[in-house]
Amino acid sequence: MKALVVDDDKVLADLIAFSLRREGFEVFQAQNGQTALDRWREENPDIIILDVKLPRTVPALDGFTVLQRIRQAAETPVIMLTVRGEEDDIVNGLKMGADDYIVKPFSPRQFIARVQSVLRRAARGAEKSLLKTGPLALDTERREVRIQDGFPISLTDLENRLLEYLMFNAGHILTIKDLISTVWGSSEVGGGDRDMLRQLVRRLRIKIEPDPSTPIYIETIPGKGYGLKRDLLAEDLSEQET
């Protein structure tokens, strides 16, 4: 797969490119808006990492303008990069068609997790972003989950992100740090913490567990984190079908 990294901060751009190459991506870079558009047309990347603040070269094209030009012609997945506290940038980017945003600074692991999440949603676009694990069926676009053939259960954006990450990694232990980074983004001001994650898991269990006090889907791994029980889900599905 191809990735285009657009950022005039060479140190950060090289770090992002290195992280992507480790995951098997062919990476192209651009330091300003015009070069970004040229590389996008030439290479047709599978995903674009686009900084909001780009140098005022001639012609002056910031990240929003680049995103707007791309959206006029294609639905290439775009992750916007913004600095901490720039809430207006985040809102504007999402309104203009960005698929996700990452607040600087961020860890390489968080970055790769968000890239994978965006690519999964893009790949499932024709299937209405439906993710299935055992009896759970999550529609990430509608932010609804069904258990077997039950009625759809509405989720908040954070609940949706948490359940998507758990389902995609069913059967694996997800650390508290990774979960916080994936659900909230940066651990800086405005990010999540252990207590917020604990409360979010509790709210999600109330919505999907038959008995939240004795969960059968989302398990707690003491001292490590949380995980979705792949084997138990499969057994539960088999029992309900017989």
> For residue range 26-35, what is the model confidence (pLDDT) as tens digits?
999 999 999 9
| Gap between the Cα atoms of 167 and 133, Å rounded | 6
> How many secondary structure helices (H) and strands (E) does the chain include?
9, 12
pLDDT at residue 131, as a whole number: 80
pLDDT at residue 187, as a whole number: 46
Last residue of a domain, one of 72, 103, 123: 123
Last residue of a domain, one of 93, 123, 153: 123
Q: If you average pLDDT over each of 6-20, 60-74, 95-109, 222-236, which comes out highest? A: 6-20
Q: Over the stretch 128-161, which tens digit does the pLDDT of each residue have?
A: 567 888 889 898 878 899 998 789 999 998 999 8
Q: Over the chain, what is the mean pLDDT?
A: 84
More confident residue, 192 or 77: 77
Overall number of domains in the chain: 2
**Sheet with strand 144-147: strands edge to edge:** 130-133, 136-139, 144-147, 153-154
109 and 136 assigned to the same domain: no
Q: What dihedral do alpha carbons 23, 27, 32, 36 form, nearest 10°? A: -110
Q: Which of 63, 41, 49, 40 is nearest to 21 (CA)?
A: 49
How large a percentage of the chain has pLDDT more than 90? 43
Tell me how far apart the 2 most distant CA atoms of the chain are, in Å: 68
| Gap between the Cα atoms of 204 and 162, Å rounded | 9
111 and 156 assigned to the same domain: no
> What would the two tokens of residue 154 be?
């509405």
135 and 72 assigned to the same domain: no
- CATH code (residue 67): 3.40.50.2300
160 and 203 assigned to the same domain: yes
135 and 231 assigned to the same domain: yes
Mean pLDDT of 166-177: 87
111 and 130 assigned to the same domain: no
Q: Over the stretch 65-112, which tens digit does the pLDDT of each residue have?
A: 999 889 888 888 999 998 865 677 777 778 888 888 888 888 888 899
Q: If you average pLDDT over each of 58-72, 93-107, 172-186, 198-212, which comes out highest? A: 198-212
pLDDT at residue 66, as a whole number: 92
Last residue of a domain, one of 123, 145, 173: 123
187 and 205 assigned to the same domain: yes
88 and 145 assigned to the same domain: no
pLDDT at residue 192, as a whole number: 78
- Using 50, 70 and 90 to split pLDDT, how confident is the model at 127? low
101 and 143 assigned to the same domain: no
Q: How many CB atoms lie within 10 A of CB 169?
A: 18
Q: Is the pLDDT of residue 237 over 60?
A: no
Q: Tokens 């990694």 label which residue?
A: 169
pTM of the model: 0.54
pLDDT at residue 84, as a whole number: 62
112 and 185 assigned to the same domain: no
61 and 153 assigned to the same domain: no
Q: Is the pLDDT of residue 171 over 50?
A: yes
84 and 132 assigned to the same domain: no
pLDDT at residue 86, as a whole number: 67
Q: Is the pLDDT of residue 242 over 50?
A: no
Range of the domain at 117: 2-123
- CATH code (residue 228): 1.10.10.10
